[in-house]
Structure 1
Amino acid sequence: MINYPERLNLAQTPTPFYPLERLSQQLGGPRIWIKRDDLTGAATSGNKIRKLEFLLAEALANGCDTLITSGGVQSNHCRSVALLGAQLGLKVHLILRADIEPKPVGNLLLDHLAGARISHYSVDEYRSLDKLFAQWAEHYAGLGSKAYSIPTGGSNGTGMWGYIAAAEELSEDFKRNAIMPQAIVHATGSAGTQAGLMLGCQLHQINTWVKAYAVCDNAAYFTHKVRDDLEQWQSQYSPETDISGLIADTCDDYVGPAYGVADQEVFDGIKQVAALEGILLDPVYTGKAFFGMMEDIKKGKFSHQQGSDIVFLHTGGLFGLFAQQHHLGY
């Protein structure tokens, strides 16, 4: 029995789980199942809300009235923090990296609607992120407020609990459908979902491969970041848990030109999946990962044996699609 820390009831869970029969048949590989974590909420949809159930519980327990967090202009995480902060009556300050032009569309539009305070920084300025967090926390302390800082993507030891809990939910999905997939596939950007899912599979005795597709950086970065998050969780919550066997498996073959920038073939894949299965992906996270998975199925990197299954964890990102709709030809 796992003793979870305090959490808030913010996500709509359990999320749907079912096979993509037409796409699986078209690709001719293993049967692809999808875990619809894009349906954890409406405007707060996606994987971040699972992490924020634990992070925001900690913020409230610490008596904080202000949330500070960071991400790219079209950050799904920042949008979720902005909306959930408003829902809980907390002030929100977003530190956004101007990696693409900050037009008020998609996630950024929702940040504004939620009343978040937004500070845009250049890519160079953003490299001093720890300093920016400290400066703004000091600023709010001077105003008599107590700020709670949430790292990019909510990815730290506390945030990991979101996908430790999600792994338990997946275990029930697998039992109900009488499957044990060869792999759970997902997009990774800040590595918190990746670390939580890996540890969750170990803790809940799920004997399957966690395969992450990077949307930025390289595989070596994720090896180190996942290790850092795991060690933080271990130190903070469970020193007796053995994490030595948990090694990140990250594919960086489909990162594309840059974070938030996708090749045209990814947009073509987004259109293909939407038309065939009614699943909406985004060009920042899920579109890149799903495209990578499809390509690797074609290359034979997943078992094609009859009865083999893989699971795609849909981590959300719908609103980021609207910021790049011109790439879809509409």
Structure 2
Amino acid sequence: MPAPEFPPRVELARRPTPLQYLARASERWGQGHRLWVKRDDLSGCLLSGNKVRKLEFIVAHALAEGYDTLITCGGVQSNHCRATAFAGAQLGLSVHLLLRGDEPAVSEGNFLLDQLAGATINCYPKRQYVSELPDLFAAWQTHYAGLGRKALAIPTGGSDGLGVWGYIAACEELAADLATAGIDRAHLVTATGSGGTQAGLALGVSLYDLSLTVWGVNVCDDEQYFLDKVAADTADWQARFPAAPTVTTETRVLDGYVGAGYGVADSEVFALIAELAALEGLLLDPVYTGKAFQGMLAELEAGRFRDCRDIVFLHTGGVFGVFPQAQQFEFAGAGGRG
């Protein structure tokens, strides 16, 4: 199948990101498998993680269509909102963030960075946010139109038919990564929170005919939600880009690792984050990658990946989410190896 023709893109990320073999983690948890990590946490500093890949295409669209303001949404510690705030600052676009939850008493983590980037911020109680989000977007777009400005509404996580191009493009990198590492086929595991990364990976694997089986570990909601969301993002992509090749994709979700809810991790996740950091110098976060890595190891132990020697974990970033929950590591017994 010929490579897809990409829409306009703004160069924001440090690409390609490395594929790193985890020798000690493989010995510790691999049970004969080789564990790898695709280091998308190294896609930049303030624009780190998976969000910047999506924003390259979203911001290019905004510039091409004459938008001067970006409005987006997420939790108070949203990685996507922080990345959008800094992308806007770099490109001279105003950014307005609609955040779910009460305004923090102390500015830290991503919320602090949002403020430093000069974003306009409104925090809404969870119930109002969930029930009124489309109306909030519309009201603020109308507000900016009244000022003679043009505001683009970007959905949660930048996950829609435009944002999925970020991980379609990433599959071009993965093809080269696998060839260089001598990996014939592998399972690819990623955290999935808004669905766009998983949708892009599923499309990219088909478009580039990669021998990868993509699994999303949901960090919120449930399996059916993500089956529906990935299907919706894929349909949106096909509708927006009818000239793109027609492909068949599969959506696979490893459910059961949400814990007490989105953004809430148990002591086992914090202990795993600390152990992996000391073992490999690889830092996960308690909202996304910590839960996803825990889910991957549990499924590996249960025999889920027995048909394949290599397992690739996509590190989607989120390091700034560690700091607002730093006190949890005391209870998880974090510390060095002695």
Aligned partner of 2:80 in structure 1 is 77
Distance 1:99 1:262 in 2: 20
User: Which of the numbers 4, 7, 16 marks the counterpart of 1:5?
Assistant: 7
Deviations 1:73-119 (A, max 9, x none): 11000000001101111110000001795631100000000010000
1:132-281 pair list within 5 angstroms: 132-238=136-242, 241-243=245-247, 245-281=248-284
Residue aligned with 2:72, SS = strand
1:295-306 pair list within 5 angstroms: 295-303=298-306
1:268 CA drift (Å): 0.6
The answer as to whether partners of 1:39 and 1:46 remain within 8 angstroms in 2 is yes
Identity %: 54
Residue aligned with 2:190, SS = strand
**TM-score of the superposition, structure 2-length normalised?**
0.94
1:303 CA drift (Å): 1.4
Aligned partner of 2:100 in structure 1 is 97
Closer/same/farther in 2, CA of residues 68 and 291 from structure 1, 3 Å limit = same
Distance 2:109 2:55 in 1: 21
Aligned partner of 1:320 in structure 2 is 321
Residue aligned with 2:322, SS = helix
1:295 CA drift (Å): 1.5
Residue aligned with 1:35, SS = strand
What residue identity is the alignment partner of 1:8? Answer: V
Aligned partner of 2:112 in structure 1 is 109
Aligned partner of 2:20 in structure 1 is 18
Distance 2:106 2:251 in 1: 35
What residue identity is the alignment partner of 2:89? Answer: A
Deviations 1:234-283 (A, max 9, x none): 1111366334x423111121001011001110001101110100000000
Moved over 4 A (4+): 99-102
Closer/same/farther in 2, CA of residues 68 and 280 from structure 1, 3 Å limit = same
What residue identity is the alignment partner of 1:313? Answer: L
1:207 CA drift (Å): 2.1
Distance 1:240 1:86 in 2: 32
Structure 2: gaps (5+ residues): none
Q: Which moved more, 1:25-34 or 1:254-263?
A: 25-34
Residue aligned with 1:64, SS = coil
Distance 1:102 1:175 in 2: 49
The answer as to whether partners of 1:187 and 1:286 remain within 8 angstroms in 2 is yes
User: Which of the numbers 108, 118, 122 marks the counterpart of 1:119?
Assistant: 122
Distance 2:103 2:143 in 1: 27
The answer as to whether partners of 1:153 and 1:192 remain within 8 angstroms in 2 is yes
Distance 1:163 1:146 in 2: 27
